[in-house]
Structure 1
Amino acid sequence: MDVLSDVVAVTRTGRPRSAHVRWHAPWGQEFASVPGAAGFQVILQGSCWLLPPDGEPVQLGPGDVVFRPRGSGHTLADSPERLATAPACGPGDHELYGAYVSDSVDRRGDGGPVTVVLCGAYQLDPARAHPLLLTLPDLIHLPADSGGHPELRSAVALLAAELENPRLGTDAVVPALLDTLLLYILRIWFKEQPARGDATGWVAALNDAPVTAALHAIHGDPGAPWTVAKLAAEAGLSRAPFARRFAMLIGQPPLSYLTWWRMTTAAGLLRTSDAPLRSIATQVGYTSEFAFANAFKRTHGTPPGAYRRKG
Structure 2
Amino acid sequence: MVVTQSGGGTDKPSAGGLSPVDPNWKPPACWYEPLATPQQLKDATEKMNKGDLFSVNFGRRWGKDLLVDAFDKGDATFTDTPTKNYNVGKKGIFWRAVARQDRANDPEILDCSKNLFWQKAGTVPDDPNAPTPEVLAAYAYDKIRVPDTKIELKPHGKSTVNLPTWVWLDKAVFKDVTVRASLPGTNLYAVTAAKPVALHLDPGTSDAETFPASGDCPVNKDGSIGTPYTRGAAKQDPPCGIAYLRATGGEAYKLKASVTWEISWKGTGDVKGRLPNGTFESTKDIDVREIQSINR
More strand by percentage: 2
TM bucket (normalised to shorter chain) is under 0.3
More helix by percentage: 1
Q: Which has the larger radius of gyration?
A: 2
Calculate the TM-score normalised by the size of structure 2: 0.24
